[in-house]
Amino acid sequence: MSHEPAPGDPVDFAGGPVEGHLPAAWIHGAPPGVRSHDAPIQVHRHDEHTLVLRQSKALTYEAPFLFLLFGNDRALLLDSGDVSDPARMPLRETVDALVENWLTAHPRDGYELVVAHSHAHGDHVRGDGQLSGRPHTVVVGRDPDAVREFFGVRAWPREIVTFDLGGRVLEVMGCPGHEPSSIAVFDPWSGFLLTGDTVYRGRLYVDDPPAFRDSLDALVELARSRPVRAVLGCHIEMTRTPRRDYPRGTTYQPDEPPLEMSVADLVAVREAAHEVGDRRGAHWFDEFAIFVGPCRLPMVWQSVRRVAATATAPLGRR
């Protein structure tokens, strides 16, 4: 006779990855001159214990993704997003409601929230202030030393360490190259490999090319030895047309591809990074681009394209 967990019983997180789903389309803004009716934050429930959040392009063109993972003892919010003002981006209100809903089904006392970051760039940390001072909450520091100390990493960045949410044991690894404190997180329950801004469908900005290549080598090795269902970064910047991105600053992206990438896509990013090597500039591939160094001229061209796209929007949509 099977035993259905009673409220308050520990959730059994063995046996993943579980079945879940990701949406075919996310909130993606409105045409120039048209008011967006997107919610400030879209919340998608992959499964009962795994939520993916996207911030609205109407409030930030970065439109970052955040990940909320529940375990028996604590939840992890990976990244706090790009908008600090709670009146415009109600991150604390949203997270409080999601945690309360989970605790209604799985009541326990003293439940913790850990706010960590895929990396320290502003569009991933600006919501920290809304969560600082929240009861039973730890906001992890942003610099590499703070990240290493919190997760207990001794051999940074290649050591893979575990972080236990209470039966749901994550694997965490440093992956610098885009930014010195970057991490990747593998979640055996969902099968998600969370890669921050190191791998996603968009412009991969490389600050340290040798470290970036080493991190991709390690990510591929990890992904090939784990049951990875999806590789999830923190942005979508490409269109569905190969080698065609939305210009930086775009606030309307109706032709976005899916957020999720495959292990084969991850391998393609790794191979491209080795092909590019240390060569400065923007290098284009079907599903992503690699920007090595400051890339001043390509970034100017991004601005020109964005202005041109706005100027040529149909009448009534400017």
Residue with the larger pLDDT of the pair 309 and 62: 62
Q: Taking all residues of the chain, what is their mean pLDDT, rounded to a whole number?
A: 95
As a whole number, mean pLDDT of residues 221-229 equals 98
Distances (CA, A) of 293 to 179, 290, 297: 12, 10, 11
Containing 204, the helix (H) or strand (E) segment is: strand 203-206
Q: Give yes or no for residue 128 having a pLDDT over 50.
A: yes
Q: Give yes or no for residue 315 having a pLDDT over 60.
A: no
Q: Give yes or no for residue 1 having a pLDDT over 70.
A: no
pTM comes to 0.95
Q: Which two tokens stand for residue 178?
A: 């885009």
Q: Which residues contact 206 (CB under 8 A, 6 or more apart)?
A: 177, 178, 212, 273, 290, 291, 292, 293
**Contact in structure between 253 and 306 (CB atoms under 8 Å):** no
- What confidence tier does 317 reach under pLDDT thresholds 50, 70, 90? very low
- What confidence tier does 314 reach under pLDDT thresholds 50, 70, 90? low
Instruction: Determine the pLDDT at residue 310.
Output: 79
Angle 239-201-287 from CA coordinates, rounded to 5°: 70
- Which of 133-137, 178-182, 236-240, 313-317 has the lowest average pLDDT? 313-317
User: Tens digit of pLDDT for each residue in 34-92?
Assistant: 999 899 999 999 999 999 999 999 999 999 999 999 999 999 999 999 999 999 999 99
What is the rounded CA–CA span in Å between residue 34 and residue 232?
30
As a whole number, mean pLDDT of residues 183-199 equals 98
Distances (CA, A) of 15 to 76, 105, 144: 20, 21, 33
Q: Give yes or no for residue 144 having a pLDDT over 80.
A: yes
What is the rounded CA–CA span in Å between residue 12 and residue 72?
9
Instruction: Determine the pLDDT at residue 100.
Output: 98
**Contact in structure between 65 and 232 (CB atoms under 8 Å):** yes
Cis ω for the linkage preceding 23 (within 30 of 0): no
What is the rounded CA–CA span in Å between residue 304 and residue 169?
46
Considering only CA atoms, give the Rg of the chain: 20
Instruction: Determine the pLDDT at residue 33.
Output: 86
